[in-house]
Amino acid sequence: MTDFRQIIQIIPSPPGPRDGVTDYAHTLARRLREGHGIDSTFVTATPYAGQVLADGFSVLAPWRDVLSKLKVFDEAPIIFHYVNYGYDRRGVPLWLPRTLRQTKARRRLVTIFHELYAAGSFRQSAFWLRPLQMRIARLVAEISDVALVSSDFYRQQLHRLSPMTAIVSHPVFSNFGEPEFTPADMTTRDPHRWVICGGTQLLERSLASFAEMVHRINGPEAPRQLVVIGGTETPAISLALRKLGNIKVTYYPDLQASTASELLAGCTFGWIDYFVQTDIPFSAILKSGAFAALCAHGVIPVVPRIGEVVMIQGDSLPGFFFVDRSSQSLPSESQRSETAWAIYCWYRRNAASASLAQTVESALFPD
């Protein structure tokens, strides 16, 4: 029997198939177990009725009530998944740094920052709470031995908060699966079949801009079918869908990841309007699970504005492809399948969950 190394993963709520952070943690746990001989015990901040998940991972809950039970894990290192709104509805979990220090004790702590702090206008509570959110993020970073963020943009933000913290970056991986393809698989896809996927707010934004720009996309890649995956149907989504005219739309607001993966594998282009603020560098899109899902399936991402090349340690994402009010850049018909394959391979090299597990193991168990 394999002698697994033990770690603890602290998450806001129990692992589930439709919660981005906890699904991320669950997938990471499977990769660490399968490829690295590392077994995870989950600790959730909220109560959980069960003790073991279907695939055998143990769960202890709630976090602040099980501190004494964690002593049996001796010096097992910790992965802490930080998303401020996951631990407090206003994004200000003032209790968290102290509890984290008590849990850490002599253990090694790697914090994965899914969020740092919120941004918003002065009309929103996030604007006024931002200083407190930044203070908590700084304290968590200072407690951590290593912090992991999704891109160099967030690395720079965290470094400004906590200059002495060791920070590594790794893009978010696809929560809709990571199927294996061959170059031939990219040649059989219908160029007129587009997809939009993600959470409700991202769908609303992406559908609105797609409805506005779709008339500009002509030629062999002109959309005739649109697959919409994720979110919850809202009046804004319904309105945008009605504006798409003769395009055949199929909407799947509640879908298993395996089924979503099958749909993505049949699409050529994916429209994603990720940026709420236009002054954010394009590298921040590496935080998007929807963007990761497109790349993991060899779907060519298309955005509604010109942007700079996304690069990870000198490895450039093929593209960036865009359609805006004045111009557009899409791969030619002869380049399409080659571009899709290059995007897929770039994802496998730089963003896949197996790559994340390797990065996390090195942080947990340094030589």
Segment 312-346, tens digit of pLDDT: 888 999 987 999 888 889 999 999 999 999 999 99
- On whether the CB atoms of residues 42 and 28 are closer than 8 A, the answer is no
- Residue 122's pLDDT is 45
- d(Cα 297, Cα 299) in Å, to the nearest integer? 5
* Regions of the chain with pLDDT less than 50: 1, 121-122
**Record: fold of 183-350:** Rossmann fold (3.40.50)
- On whether the CB atoms of residues 116 and 157 are closer than 8 A, the answer is yes
Task: Give the torsion through C-alpha atoms of 225, 278, 351, 294, to 10 deg.
Answer: 0
The segment(s) of the chain belonging to CATH 3.40.50.2000 are 5-173+353-364, 183-350
φ and ψ of 191, to 5 deg: -65, -15
- d(Cα 42, Cα 44) in Å, to the nearest integer? 6
- Residue 279's pLDDT is 79
Tokens of 69: 């039970």
- d(Cα 185, Cα 67) in Å, to the nearest integer? 50
- d(Cα 105, Cα 131) in Å, to the nearest integer? 27
Could you count the other beta carbons within 10 Å of the beta carbon of residue 56?
8
The CATH number of 5-173+353-364 is 3.40.50.2000
Instruction: Compute CA distances 335 → 4, 155, 191, 270, 299, whole Å.
Output: 46, 34, 12, 16, 13
- Residue 1's pLDDT is 39
- Residue 51's pLDDT is 80
Residue with tokens 């879908």: 255
For residue 115, the one-letter residue type is E
pTM for the full model? Answer: 0.92
